[in-house]
Amino acid sequence: MELHALHVFLEVASEKSFSRAAEKLFRTQPAVSLAVQRLEAELGEKLIERSGRDLVPTDSGRLVLDYARRFENLRRELATALEELRDRAAGRLVVGANESTTLYLLSHLRAYRRSYPRVRIRIQRCLSSQVPRLIADGDLELGVISYEPADGRLISTVLYKDHLAFIVSPRHRLARRRSVSIADLGLETFIAHNVVSPYRLAVLREFQRHKVPLNMDVEMPTVESIRRLVQQNEGVAFLPRMCVEQELAQGSVAEVRVRELRVAREIRLVYPAHRTLSHAASAFLELVAGRPRQKKPDA
């Protein structure tokens, strides 16, 4: 079996179209279709349902697709390893993170750039809930999440300890209070993040436990949009303190302690337990977590 045929099948399944896959591969549509037909003949299985508008993998196709992705990840790892062999100071670092956890990487990235200026860095934006799966499947080497992954294939180390901050506008009635009771918040309009997270669920549980209504009348897609609405006194919010440190220092928002609610956050760097990291990723892990750099196995 040729790896090229698996690569073509992967593109066809991803694009759900022979023509779009052909454009991406810079090949003709008949050549792409023929490559998939030959792969099906070699495996003795139908891999693609061709009856609908979009191409859909069969059960056998989904199985082959999973292995095709693994081969593609190994191909990229090989290319990276050869590049590092030629130049140990170069390489590529890819870290998966969502909008808010990216902030916890900034100081580490500055230090890393000083030590490894020729390494190309890309922070891949993805949902926090997807990061462990992407690492376990080999699509990422490193990721940043705000919870401990329940997967024996992964290791995590704490990067930063934070907490959810209850923030209000400086013009808000509670802005001059050092602390409030959760019962004082039943009439407030909360600006919520529309991504479900363990911390949102923790806040919901505490309000329910104290029998206080939680009025999440506005939900926004980004931390920045929530922060701006709070600054404009359109509502109040719980946000990671790291995300509002600058605004707190400038006085454009105020933090008020809620006596019955203290939600700690541990920001974790996650990496595979049983897979050798690239030179770039291993150096980053050493820098941020103080771990000895992984050694490549002897040839």
Q: 71 near 56, Cβ under 8 Å?
A: no
**Distance between CA 229 and CA 255 in Å, rounded?**
15
CATH number of 3-81: 1.10.10.10
Taking only the tens place, the pLDDT of each residue in 165-217 is 999 999 999 999 999 999 999 999 999 988 778 888 899 999 999 999 999 98
Domain 86-160+266-289 top-level CATH class? alpha beta
Q: 260 near 280, Cβ under 8 Å?
A: no
H or E element in which residue 257 lies: strand 257-258
Q: What's the pLDDT score for residue 256?
A: 97
Q: What are the residues facing 49 on neighbouring strands?
A: 56
Which band of pLDDT confidence, cut at 50, 70 and 90, is reported for residue 84? low
Max mean pLDDT range (196-205, 215-224, 225-234): 225-234
Which band of pLDDT confidence, cut at 50, 70 and 90, is reported for residue 85? low
pTM here is 0.61
Is pLDDT larger for residue 166 or for residue 35?
A: 166
Q: Which two tokens stand for residue 266?
A: 């541990």
CATH number of 162-265: 3.40.190.290
Segment 39-67 mean pLDDT: 83
> What are φ and ψ of residue 13, in 5° steps?
-65, -35
Asked whether the predicted pLDDT for residue 237 surpasses 60, the reply is yes
Domain boundaries, the chain: 3-81, 86-160+266-289, 162-265
- Amino acid letter, 133: R
| CATH fold match for the domains 3-81 and 86-160+266-289 | no
- Amino acid letter, 267: I
Asked whether the predicted pLDDT for residue 252 surpasses 70, the reply is yes
Which band of pLDDT confidence, cut at 50, 70 and 90, is reported for residue 100? confident
Q: What is the DSSP string of 40-109?
A: HHHHTS--EE-SSSS-EE-HHHHHHHHHHHHHHHHHHHHHHHHHHHH-TT--EEEEEE-HHHHGGGHHHH
Residues 150-170 as b or e (16 or more Cβ within 10 Å = b):
eeeebbbeebbebbbbbbbbe
